[in-house]
Chain A
């Protein structure tokens, strides 16, 4: 099973600041890495697929990069609605696995 490790666990930032979230895989997942955002009481929302492709309707301030074992989600300028928990997920191998999440909170 591929283990995904997200860091940091919590990120405290102010609106307008840049957020950089990391996801590291225990073995290569090529570019088969997906990012989601989840707000309290809601289902997750697909943000980025295959490491760097924005899903339909996702604003350009969200970008993803990386390949192999190291991936980054960047939010160029945080909007109030971006404060949430972010998860990465690999879809290279079965079983599918998620990272433990990074909470982006208001400083």
Chain B
């Protein structure tokens, strides 16, 4: 359950949609998460999805889960410069053990 992979960088133009992808290996994951880290700060929980769900929407954020392919994505609609940050995908396995990806650095170009 320790392999959670993300691409390292993503650049988008302000106003466009951003899609950040994540793959994981352990099928026993119970919850999957997206955290945001701004410079000099800790991780802030953005949203999470239970493993038996396919999709969750929360304002500008849409999470899609493909459990068969072990693929999680985060879509940010109408991306703003304030969305520039590092985004971490994480999974929780039975026993409340969390595993994090390496993070995707999102740059929003004005």
Same complex: no
